[in-house]
Amino acid sequence: MGALSRTTRQGQLAQTETELKALVARLRSDGADDRAVGRHPKVRALRASAAQSRLRLKAIDAKEALNKKLADHKAARLEAKKSGGKKKGKKGADEKGKGKGKDKAKAKAAAPKDKAKAAPKKDKKDKKDKKDKGKK
> Tell me, what's the pLDDT at 22?
97
> Tell me, what's the pLDDT at 50?
97
Q: 121, 119, 101: which is closest to 109 by C-alpha?
A: 101
Parts of the chain with a pLDDT under 70: 1-3, 85-136
* Measured distance CA(90)–CA(87) in Å, rounded: 6
> Tell me, what's the pLDDT at 84?
83
> Tell me, what's the pLDDT at 1?
44
* Measured distance CA(99)–CA(23) in Å, rounded: 67
Single-letter code of the amino acid located at 4 = L
Do 55 and 39 touch, CB atoms closer than 8 A? no
DSSP state of 96: S
Whole-prediction pTM: 0.55
Q: Taking the CA of residue 33 as centre, how many other CA atoms within 13 Å lie in the half-sphere pointing to its CB?
A: 1
